[in-house]
Amino acid sequence: SGGQIDFEYDLVIIGGGSGGLAAAREASGFGKKVALCDFVVPSPLGTKWGLGGTCVNVGCIPKKLMHRASQIRNDMSDALDFGWEFNKEGVAHNWEKMVTQVQSYIKSLNFGYRKMLMENNVKYFNAFGSFVDKHTLKLKTDTTESIISARNFIIATGGRPKYPDIPGAKQFCITSDDLFSMKHRPGKVLVVGASYVALECAGFLNGLGYDTSVMVRSILLRGFDQQMAEKIEEHMISCGVKFIKNTVPTSFKKNDKTGAITTLGETNGKKTFSGAFDTILLAVGREACTAKLNLEGIGVKIHPTSKRIIVDEKERTSVPTIFAIGDVADEKPELTPVAIQAGKLLAMRLYNMSTQLMDYKNVPTSVFTPCEYGCVGFTEAEAITKHGEAKIDVYHQEFAYLEGVITEKAPKSYAKLIVLKEEKDELVIGAHIFCPNAGEIIQGFALGIRMGAKKKDFDDLVGIHPTVAEVFTTLTITKSSGKSAGATG
Ligand code: FAD
Ligand code: NA7
């Protein structure tokens, strides 16, 4: 009727990760006929996993659990300072046991997502999707091929680790896709790259007792506040992580007798590095999964260099019936809660007459290095670029948190608030904290900043004593005053 074509599904979602699963659940809740396909192409070394996408299988979840595993080592050393008595020599870590425990939890999550789709009447295909035309998708498994049609599609295919074009890279090196299920102990490790993924993995590997070096091409944590990145580096060095700066790898060669991988590296075209490692973890960025979807064939535009899908504020691609969310969408923060929120709001706009757009501003985030870093809003450099140096100020303080004062190895913590001076009571446009559990702390303050909190609101807020978070209620020293913000002890 009315010239409407019948499609098998109202909505088909390509990719069963954070964003795809959230959109599927929400859309089916509005009584729509929904299908979702998810397929994990094995890593070059053959690693694969179940339903749930990057976060669940090879991202946030195993990463955070291994971060915790490594922190327990610090807790044990702190324990001695707090009067616990045990034989330190008798303490050892069993990598295989940790991996088994983490992987068995992941399996339970994979099962939970299968169940969730079933309970919500979402048809699940364990198949790789690619477009035939704007309304038709080809589904391919290792042995079968089929076709389904839908009125609308959401592309939520995420990304996968990049490999540098260097001899031996794909043959001998692992990425985060392989690390969390690796059956044997890592041994002596080289991490290549300085993104948060690189630093988090280096942090927990070192914490678990493995000799760990990080090869850095330029700066640490591009895109993050650079003063905070320096604090992370300083603390990681104090924990024993080695940094090989201004160096890129040029080749990886495996010694078949010893199993060691010899790595050569160079600085400005000159050979400057040679070292042998048991494990080389490449963490040089991620590549959006757009190449095999036949996007050019149906007119969905991707960004020429990032290869990510260009979307408007409604997550609409250049083909108006096709949407893209999560890591595959261009210029969006690559974070699980961002993908989930975008998927949920998109389904509500499609099927529940909502007009609410995803707000990509003031998304808090945390870097789970040995001492964590949490932030929301502008970095100092971004604030200066956007508003000019004269209009901003920074309240800051270095501090020793109470739990660390009687232990030997506590990191020096640091907090800062970036404010717009011209606004009455000074609008807070960025909050940064480097301390244990920074992620837990910044989450709550992000609400304040989203709601337009002023510096005066932070000052009027009564702290909880003694906590780390209370530092945000007592900041009085500005950078412009030139006064020292060093810890007073
Ligand atoms: P994904 O979760 O990647 O899901 C995409 C799915 O689509 C995958 O299952 C993929 O196999 C599948 N797929 C791809 N192409 C096709 C196709 N053609 N057909 C069928 N299926 C296909 N974020 C945080 O918020 N906090 C963290 O602490 C954090 N830590 C991370 C640590 C690591 C090591 C990594 C790598 C990432 C981390 N992230 C973290 C980022 C987070 O994992 C991603 O932002 C999030 O998973 C993106 O969700 P998505 O739905 O866009 O894609
Ligand atoms: P990013 O942010 O893309 O960073 C990749 C890192 O790897 C970065 O440190 C790069 O150094 C480094 N890199 C890239 N190519 C090479 C080569 N060939 N050799 C050595 N080092 C290299 O990483 P992610 O994709 O993991 O992060 C995704 C998002 O998370 C991103 O949007 C961030 O905002 C947070 P560089 O700084 O370019 O010199």
Among the residues of 406-437, which ranges form H helices?
none
With the most atoms of ligand 1 within 8 angstroms of its CB, the residue from 157, 176, 363 to mutate is 157
CA–centroid distance, residue 284 to ligand 2 (Å):
5
Among the residues of 388-480, which ranges form H helices?
438-450, 455-460
| Residue 489: pLDDT over 60 | no
The pLDDT tens digits for 221-263 are: 999 999 999 999 999 999 999 999 999 999 999 999 999 999 9
**pLDDT score, position 1:** 45
Q: Is 481 exposed, middle or buried (0-12, 13-18, 19+ CB in 10 A)?
A: exposed
User: What ligand is nearest to the CA atom of residue 165?
Assistant: 2
- What is d(CA 312, CA 167) in angstroms, rounded to the nearest whole number? 39
Q: Specify the residue with its C-alpha closest to ligand 1, atom 35.
A: 59
Confidence of residue 487 (pLDDT cuts 50, 70, 90): confident
The pLDDT tens digits for 45-77 are: 999 999 999 999 999 999 999 999 999 999 999
| Residue 90: pLDDT over 90 | no
Q: Distance of CA 368 to CAs 181, 188, 238, 271, 434, Å?
A: 19, 21, 16, 33, 10
Q: Ligand 2 in contact with 166 (CB < 6 A)?
A: no
CA–centroid distance, residue 424 to ligand 1 (Å):
41
Mapped onto helix, strand or coil, the DSSP state of residue 62 is helix
**pLDDT score, position 3:** 56
Average pLDDT taken over every residue of the chain: 97
Nearest to 95 by CA among 195, 25, 185, 21: 185
CA–centroid distance, residue 223 to ligand 1 (Å):
20
104 Cβ contact partners less than 8 Å away, ≥ 6 residues apart: none
- What is d(CA 36, CA 109) in angstroms, rounded to the nearest whole number? 17
Ligand 2 atom nearest 284 alpha carbon? 7
| Residue 137: pLDDT over 60 | yes
Confidence of residue 409 (pLDDT cuts 50, 70, 90): confident
Mean pLDDT score, 157-163 = 98
Q: Ligand 2 in contact with 54 (CB < 6 A)?
A: no
CA–centroid distance, residue 186 to ligand 1 (Å):
24
Q: Ligand 2 in contact with 220 (CB < 6 A)?
A: no
CA–centroid distance, residue 478 to ligand 1 (Å):
39
With the most atoms of ligand 1 within 8 angstroms of its CB, the residue from 51, 55, 174, 300 to mutate is 55
| Residue 2: pLDDT over 60 | no
CA–centroid distance, residue 285 to ligand 2 (Å):
4
Q: Ligand 2 in contact with 196 (CB < 6 A)?
A: yes
Q: Ligand 2 in contact with 240 (CB < 6 A)?
A: no
| Residue 122: pLDDT over 50 | yes
Question: Does residue 453 or residue 90 have the better pLDDT?
Answer: 453
User: What ligand is nearest to the CA atom of residue 180?
Assistant: 1
Ligand 1 lining (C-beta closer than 6 Å): 14-20, 37-40, 53-55, 59-60, 63, 128-129, 156-158, 176, 197, 289, 293, 326-328, 334-337, 339
Q: Ligand 2 in contact with 224 (CB < 6 A)?
A: no
CA–centroid distance, residue 180 to ligand 1 (Å):
15
- What is d(CA 141, CA 143) in angstroms, rounded to the nearest whole number? 5
CA–centroid distance, residue 18 to ligand 1 (Å):
7
Nearest to 205 by CA among 59, 71, 91, 404: 71
Q: Would you please indicate which residues are annotated as catalytic (active-site) residues?
A: 465
Q: Distance of CA 318 to CAs 114, 291, 295, 315, 426, Å?
A: 31, 16, 10, 10, 41
The pLDDT tens digits for 316-372 are: 999 999 999 999 999 999 999 999 999 999 999 999 999 999 999 999 999 999 999
Phi-psi region of 331 (alpha: psi -120 to 50; beta: other; left: phi over 0): left
User: What ligand is nearest to the CA atom of residue 59?
Assistant: 1
Ligand 1 atom nearest 15 alpha carbon? 7
The pLDDT tens digits for 187-214 are: 999 999 999 999 999 999 999 999 999 9
Q: Specify the residue with its C-alpha closest to ligand 2, atom 34.
A: 223
Ligand 1 atom nearest 130 alpha carbon? 18
- Between strands 136-140 and 145-155, the pairing is antiparallel
- What is d(CA 164, CA 192) in angstroms, rounded to the nearest whole number? 10
- What is d(CA 105, CA 226) in angstroms, rounded to the nearest whole number? 35
Q: Ligand 2 in contact with 233 (CB < 6 A)?
A: no
Q: Which of 2-16, 206-220, 267-281, 361-375 has the lowest mean pLDDT?
A: 2-16
Q: Ligand 2 in contact with 194 (CB < 6 A)?
A: yes
User: What ligand is nearest to the CA atom of residue 280?
Assistant: 2
Q: Ligand 2 in contact with 219 (CB < 6 A)?
A: yes
